[in-house]
Amino acid sequence: MSGEDMKNRAFSLIEVLIVVVILGVLAAIALPQFASATDDARTAAVQSTLSGVRSSIASYRTSAVINGTAPYPALAEITDGSVLKFDVPINPFTDVGGVQAVTGGQADARAVVSESSAGWNYFVDNNATPPVVIFYSNTSILSTAPDGAGGFLGANEL
């Protein structure tokens, strides 16, 4: 091929720049959609874990009431496999696993306590009337769950 034929077959700088601009616009539109999908998945994972643990605690309570024992399990029973038929997964918002005990005031406020040492918080008081149990995520990172006022709930509020 002659030099003239090669010149006619190449892209001009303007054509290349137009393609780059179009790709940039598409990336600017698409990337936030993928980021939202990741946050939605984290929120769903936290909700699933909370649902599973809370369901297991409710099942434990049913058996305990029938047997006349303390209605809610102690922290050790949550973590040793006697209440849950699965290991509590890591918190997807913090990538930290484990369950820690918190005080009643901390649980009522859904306080985040030592976020780097445990992914989940647990409070139980079988001596209260009525007995109280609270299990929640140990992070205040916003989830994608709506709060009803146009914002989003913290993952610890789910």
What confidence tens digit (pLDDT) does each residue in 80-115 have? Answer: 988 998 899 999 999 999 999 999 999 999 999 999
> What is the identity of the amino acid at 147?
D
- Cα 99 from chain centroid (whole Å): 15
- On the question of a cis peptide bond just before residue 130, with omega within 30 degrees of 0, the verdict is yes
User: 152, 143, 139: which is closest to 112 by C-alpha?
Assistant: 139
Structure-block tokens of residue 55: 């369901």
Give me the mean pLDDT over the 118-138 stretch. Answer: 97
Cβ neighbours of 101 (radius 10 Å): 16
pLDDT band at 29 (very low <50, low <70, confident <90, very high): confident
Residue 85 near residue 65 (C-beta atoms within 8 A): no
Residue 88 near residue 79 (C-beta atoms within 8 A): yes
Residues 52, 42: Cα–Cα separation, whole Å: 15
Cβ neighbours of 43 (radius 10 Å): 21
What confidence tens digit (pLDDT) does each residue in 58-77 have? Answer: 999 999 999 999 999 999 99
Q: What is the pLDDT of residue 27?
A: 81
pLDDT band at 2 (very low <50, low <70, confident <90, very high): low
Q: Could you tell me where the beta strands, DSSP code E, fall in the chain?
A: 99-101, 120-125, 132-137, 142-146, 152-154
Residues 86, 106: Cα–Cα separation, whole Å: 26
Domain residue ranges of the chain, discontinuous segments joined by +: 3-157
